[in-house]
Every structure is written in C-alpha cells, then in structure tokens.
Structure 1
C-alpha cells in the first residue's frame, strides 16, 4: 500500500505499508488537513498483535487522531484516539504517534514504540523515546534482554495522560515509522533511503521486509520544504 499527497502550499508527503510475513496488516496511517487549518496532521498506528482486532484498533486510532483540532494539541489527539478505541469494545489495542503542524515544525505525541524522526536533508534524528520495557530498564542503567524491546509499557487503550510522550520538530522534514521499519533498519540505512524523497516511504518499507523484517512495516515521510536560499561563488580579497 502506497500513498502520496500534496495539498496547496503544504509539503509533499508519502506513505507506504508492507504486510510482511504477518497474517494481516495491523498498521494504519492517517493524514488530514482541516479547511482553513494551519496544515496537515499526520498519525501512524501499529496494532498490538496480529489479528483483526488489532488492525481495527490501529485504523480507528489513526483516523480519529488526525481529525483532532490542531489548537487542542497532539496529546488531545492521543486521548481522542483512546476514547474511540475503548468504545470499540473488545481488547484491540495499538501504539500511536501523532504530529501536528506548528509555525515551522511539528508538535509530536506518542504512546508505545511508534517513532518520529526529524530530517534536515542530511541528518536523521530520533525525537521520540520508545515506551518499551527495554527502554525503561536502560533508563535505570539495568541490563535488558532482546524480548524486552517488543514489550510496550504504554498503548492507546491503557495510557494515562501523564504517560503520553511529547516532543517537537523544528523545521525540516518529518518521518514517522512503525517498529517493523526502525527495528529492521539502522538510522544510517534509513537516512540513505531518504536521500531519494519521492521513493522514500516505499523504499523504507520494502527494504525493511527485504532484510528479514518479520513485522508489518509502515512509514510516513514528509519532505523538507524547498530552501529559499540561493548560493553563488564569490572571490575573497587577499
């Protein structure tokens, strides 16, 4: 699944999702620009598990989050997604990352291990911190085991408001990924792929599966705005 868009003066953006070896694709993305709003809200959700309930929770979380008014902020978007997922009944759950536009950047909120990265055209910088058991123990300077990387400590259904992570991206581009991308690829590999922005989202997901990824792989890439700077050669006086 691949998508692309450009609305008016807004930046170009691209999405892609690959099911991989899972029985279903429980990842979901959303993008929405309110009429006369300040920009596009982006969301990426990753269902917890490999079943229809997880997929439905992810789709619900992403679609509700992006329709939260920008003035209310990204934390409100996560909480709106939480109410919607709980109203579904059952046990379906997901992790979620939301990015809302600000003047020159984005405000980000997340639960679980969906990630946001800032991209300036050269350097890819992670701005979220995974809410996983492994990350919790690392913060306590305690040893971790590989399986802890896949155990989330917050989710859309379960998180309290004070547990929702927040960050800001100032200028440049934006990358949102599910763990099927960022746990299969290194930051250096992702940065090299972003050098070809028109194909970046699809290339990230395809590469993640190609190198042996065993999860759904999904990405949203928002290209950096064109630079207004003009450079020219000049000679310095001796």
Structure 2
C-alpha cells in the first residue's frame, strides 16, 4: 500500500498440537500510522490460541495516542472479558516521529534492524533472565518460565523502550530461541522473504514451538506522519 512501510509476517505450527501464536496490524482511520502486535499463547491448548488472538487484536486496536503500555492493559481487559484461564505473552510497537514505541510482557521480543545487524530492544521476562542478570545459576527450563504475562501483569511490570530509524522485527520465542543473531541478520538481507524464511528456518533447525515473525522494513517516509485509512487486521 503506497505511503505505508512494507511489512511481512509468517507463522508455522511446528511440532505443537496447534499454533497458539497471533499477529495483528491495525491502523484506524485518521490515526498516525500502524500499530503492530505479536502474541504467543501460554501453553498448547485452544485457550492459549484464543488468548493470543484476543490479546493481539485488542492491543493493535488501541489508539496510538494512548501508547503501547495502555495497549497491553487493553489486551488484559479483553482476556478477562473472554473468561477462562487462557494467557499469552505480548509485544506491541506503535509509531511515533522517526520510530516506534514498544511495550512487552513475557518473552516475545522486538529487534531493531539497521540494514546489516539486528539489535535486541526488549529483555525477556523469564526466570532465567531474572537469575542471569543477578549472576545466579539457572536451569535451561527457566528460559521458558515467564515472570509476566498479559493476564497477570501490572502496569509497572510492563517493559518499555523505543527505537528510532531502521526496520523493526517482532518474534515469538520459537524463532529467537532457536536462531542465532548472525542467522537472523543474514535472513533479513532479503526483506520481502524475511518473515517466512525466519519461521521456516527455525522449524528446520529443530524448533519445538510455534514460530512467528513480523518484519517491518525501514520506512521511506515518516511512519508517524501518515494519515491512515481503514486497514484490515492480519492474524
């Protein structure tokens, strides 16, 4: 679509019983740009998939002026209205002049892309990361135990950051916990195929989880200066 940054998304189920990842990209009429959200359901059951879809959609439809933290809290409200116990981790990116404001819970990640190398923008909310930053021992299993989630988080626990310039990559852990940074760098060299190749490569390299990626190419125009038109959700 002319005037919008080019973006690409892909997802594969892998050896799980179902794909509990979800992606949403939405721009309300008159809003300054597109909001992107990627959610990874906690578990391998239908409730996890519904939670991810609900969280991603609610986050993406949050007005850009409200910011990405509010987007995650809106996702939380949507999960509570949904009922049940389904939960998800989530990363949200909202445009501002020259870049994106980002918020996250759990181990969904955002990376910046300068055209040659990725830079990790988020820090995993996992038990492993908690002990790693405190120079304490941890087990491999702790890499998959999250300390925040959409359903359980409070506002002060939500991670925030921003990135100016370049491209943007959002991934579920089925991608970034399988592929080393150098492999991701090489794949992003072909932007139009990047999302699909990241996902298929992660599965081919033995990934045991759902694998999902959303790649936003570096914009040719200021993403926050765009006056948008109604735009369908991609999930």
The TM-score bracket by the shorter chain reads over 0.9
Match of 1:115 in 2: 109
Aligned partner (choices 42, 52, 56) of residue 58 of structure 1: 52
Alpha-carbon distance between aligned partners in 2 of 1:195 and 1:181, rounded to the nearest angstrom: 17
Using the TM superposition, give the Cα deviation of residue 143 of structure 1 relative to its aligned residue in structure 2, in angstroms: 1.1
The number of residues matched between the two structures is: 221
Unaligned runs of 5+ in 2: 222-235
Alignment pair present for 1:138 and 2:120: no
Quote the residue 1:101 is aligned against: 95
Q: Which has the higher contact order (CA 8 A, sep 6+)?
A: 2
- Which stretches in structure 1 are left out of the alignment for 5+ residues? 1-6, 228-238
Counterpart of 2:158 (choices 164, 171, 179) is 164
Determine the C-alpha separation between the residues in 2 that align with 1:190 and 1:43: 20
Deviations 1:137-193 (A, max 9, x none): 011111111000000000000001100000101111000000000001001100100
Distance 1:33 1:120 in 2: 25
The whole-number CA distance in structure 2 between the counterparts of 1:12 and 1:77 is 22
Residue number in structure 1 paired with 2:37: 43
Q: Distance in 1 between matches of 2:138 and 2:54?
A: 33
Q: Which has the larger radius of gyration?
A: 1
TM norm structure 1: 0.91
What TM-score, normalized to structure 2? Answer: 0.93
Q: 2:193 aligns with which of 196, 199, 210?
A: 199
Aligned to 2:121: 127
SS of 2:192's partner is helix
Distance 1:124 1:158 in 2: 30
